[in-house]
Structure 1
């Protein structure tokens, strides 16, 4: 690539040596405004039809948005009619303000106000081009002409809305694009528009400062927002609003730092739909707050349903790695990650689910947004022992002894490698059962009985099949398992020692009620595990012994 110095220039920053935002924290939710139905819709290859817009509007209301930009009613009859339909059919909740966009042109403003007649609460969103490229290249206007146009638009909106007192009106003004506009000039235009509207602490104006094109790093955006807030002549008259895009991939960070810098309000869309690389993703910002203990006042408890509605009406898809909403965001393939998650989840089960969330690699509890634990760990050839054990435990109730994890994990990892794909929980379970559970070749336990011969010993009789031959064996020991080991030794089939035994009731599955695990060590030092499953916990232990003996070879 050629040197960019001749073609591009550094981003102009404001001088703010005493910036305060780096020490600030986000401790409360901002006012949220969804622009899915306007900014999001205009970016779709196939815009939503009226029925789809209605469905998404209702979903946004269910989530809890109190301000929703529903369209650009002066731009087309479709947009105008949709606005009228919401109002005339009384589909707007009493506590929700509908917002519409309009340019500072008289005929467009009049058409816009007509579209909103009868609404209980309405925000008129006025915008004018203020940055040099737009005002000079696109519109051919001077600074003075742009300021005059903005003020005239605000005055007309005030005149028309004052004549309709049955509606609670609010003006929003956007200097387009704020971050590329000279700071002093952006402030001058905003102050003039606020004055024309008659803004005060009782009659606030929304001053929306668009990062329509993300041109600098998030910290420079925060500097601009703090500079603007500190230089407003009357901070109490304004609700400072953010509208970030994602051209540099840092729209979320720019918004969060902008809130730390003093902004009060955030505009964005579900999952970041919007022009070019998209608008701000409100889901991510809201759930980031949630993960820090701040109530966002938006309900994402069923994020899967919200995603389903979004994907259906927009015909867009949420990326597998998209924060919070993607299919893989609560999934670990890496063995070390899986092991850490399993330990964290196990610990949480012991200390109680009311404790502070502290599970490695998971910033929030998946259950809080309607996701399940079963999808957290998925197994491929790179997965480790902890992940396999987690799936077998959570999905099928097999609480494997920790010392058994490596043997099971290695075998199932090799199986995934041979298949060259991720294994489903069912495939993991099948592989585990085939290789560890009730293994009956070459030795099969067919019948077993035991009787006490003293307080500390039992005698057993076992009917077994080995290489097709059925034999009856007897043995003695301090329990059924040791008695069976003695019986096998009498035939020279027990070239091993018993190292470990565990058992538990199964918490999943219906055909059996107990699982047992036995570890055997061969004379050459090799150690293997076997698992037995049976309705009778004693027989489960005996089957585990036989499974381990068969696996030892």
Structure 2
């Protein structure tokens, strides 16, 4: 067909549609509001001049109004050029079509070059009024433009797309059920891993971002605008949980692991403890080859640094006896007077020195006040003992009573520190590897079950 024959065919079709609808004389047809959408199917591969000629002819045949516009659907049926080239074509069309106020310029972009979203965005900036696409980019071949990505890109720039994706998981479930096509884990905004980070540097930045945001909201007393490293929008806007943002595997860094510990225990680990626990978790991840869930991290931390929960009662009677050192610590009797941090720590050091014949020093001691939870304020005590020229061991206690928190940390150290303190070199590494393997099995058994809940 010649160009003129193509134009004539399009005009005959437009006139026929009008005769069958608006001009049919049928009362029902006349009461119905009819809108014509005309699609120059190969617009992306056609000269803009010819596209304008055929669209002008169809517009004249259809006779649109300002109230009931004609839709010209400009297609990138098969992507053949970069997004800016197509956008230039759209801009030229918008600038030169007559009676622009009676025309709705629509887009229909496919994803053959993986640029459908970018092409649609640039073409909207070039003057387009409307976009056709599919949820999650379904469609012929590589699919149509992904309307979820396109809409939420606008949302992150402060423009409401007019579509509610407030429960993105429900949308994903519905589309997967209807299409039988699973959504890619890393699909923008909706994939299961979209708001998850495994890389240590990213995790650390997000952890600090949440801390800054929390302080800012506490000071202002109101929600502050969303600004977060590596997270272009608040997951809560899509009904995604913040707890799933940071994920742990063997590639994760201390920032992500510390984030989990803070979420579980409401504590910020001292740097030395953070480094020690990071090594432990990464060893566990390497040995198991699995993603580390929150329950596993809790089990590992408790097993390696804290007394069992059953031993963390409000009243603890603890006898320390060894040659030339005898002390009785009873929290129900002594209160926080005699049995302060320094006293219970010194007794522990003397006990270990006498029993094992090694010199031990208190290398680090930290206290943190944990904000009120359920009306109770707790204290966290971190203690690190170090044998001269050898290894270091950490103990952690958390309790409403500061003295009991110290007792918990010291009691753990008195029973477990020697395993770390009296070994060095290859012996120590073998001992730690053996212990970590045991802890790994406990955490795997308990943590996996928690992860499935």
User: What is the TM-score normalised by the length of structure 2?
Assistant: 0.80
Q: By how many angstroms is 1:524 displaced?
A: 2.5
Q: Secondary structure at the match of 1:165?
A: helix
Give yes or no for the alignment of 1:205 onto 2:70.
Answer: yes
Q: By how many angstroms is 1:507 displaced?
A: 7.8
**Equivalent residue in structure 2 for 1:483, among 318, 340, 343:** 343
Partner of 1:416: 285
Alpha-carbon distance change, 222 to 320 in structure 1, aligned in 2, over 3 angstroms: same
Tell me, in whole angstroms, the C-alpha distance in 2 between the residues paired with 1:547 and 1:422. 29
Alpha-carbon distance change, 490 to 159 in structure 1, aligned in 2, over 3 angstroms: same
Partner of 1:355: 224
Give yes or no for the alignment of 1:148 onto 2:8.
Answer: yes
Partner of 2:143: 278
Give yes or no for the alignment of 1:161 onto 2:53.
Answer: no
RMSD across aligned positions (CA): 3.1
Q: Secondary structure at the match of 1:306?
A: helix
Partner of 2:327: 473
Q: Secondary structure at the match of 1:168?
A: coil
Please list every run of 5 or more consecutive structure 2 residues that lacks an aligned counterpart in the other structure: 422-453
Partner of 1:393: 262
Partner of 2:234: 365
- Identify the structure with bigger relative contact order (alpha carbons < 8 Å, sequence gap 6+): 1
Partner of 2:319: 463
Alpha-carbon distance change, 240 to 417 in structure 1, aligned in 2, over 3 angstroms: same
Q: Secondary structure at the match of 2:30?
A: coil
Partner of 2:429: none
Tell me, in whole angstroms, the C-alpha distance in 2 between the residues paired with 1:149 and 1:180. 20
Give yes or no for the alignment of 1:426 onto 2:295.
Answer: yes
Tell me, in whole angstroms, the C-alpha distance in 2 between the residues paired with 1:184 and 1:220. 15
Tell me, in whole angstroms, the C-alpha distance in 1 between the residues paired with 2:76 and 2:228. 35
Contact 1:155 1:196 (C-alpha < 8 Å) held by counterparts:
yes
Q: Deviations over 1:297-340 (max 9, x none)?
A: 11111001011111101111110110000011111111111111
Tell me, in whole angstroms, the C-alpha distance in 2 between the residues paired with 1:272 and 1:445. 54
**Equivalent residue in structure 2 for 1:341, among 206, 210, 220:** 206
Give the number of the structure whose residues are more often helix, by fraction: 2
Tell me, in whole angstroms, the C-alpha distance in 2 between the residues paired with 1:446 and 1:171. 76
**Equivalent residue in structure 1 for 2:152, among 287, 299, 322:** 287
Q: By how many angstroms is 1:513 displaced?
A: 6.4
Partner of 1:380: 249
Q: Secondary structure at the match of 1:240?
A: strand
Partner of 1:192: 57
Greater than 6 Å deviation, 4+ residue runs: 444-449, 475-478, 506-509
Alpha-carbon distance change, 478 to 358 in structure 1, aligned in 2, over 3 angstroms: farther
Tell me, in whole angstroms, the C-alpha distance in 1 between the residues paired with 2:166 and 2:209. 22
Q: By how many angstroms is 1:446 displaced?
A: 10
Give the number of the structure whose residues are more often strand, by fraction: 1
Partner of 2:90: 225
Please list every run of 5 or more consecutive structure 1 residues that lacks an aligned counterpart in the other structure: 1-140, 450-460
Tell me, in whole angstroms, the C-alpha distance in 2 between the residues paired with 1:238 and 1:173. 11
Contact 2:397 2:408 (C-alpha < 8 Å) held by counterparts:
yes
Partner of 1:520: 385
Partner of 2:38: 173
Alpha-carbon distance change, 473 to 446 in structure 1, aligned in 2, over 3 angstroms: farther
Contact 2:314 2:404 (C-alpha < 8 Å) held by counterparts:
no
Partner of 2:185: 320
Contact 1:206 1:240 (C-alpha < 8 Å) held by counterparts:
yes
Q: By how many angstroms is 1:187 displaced?
A: 1.1
User: What is the TM-score normalised by the length of structure 1?
Assistant: 0.66
Contact 1:206 1:239 (C-alpha < 8 Å) held by counterparts:
yes
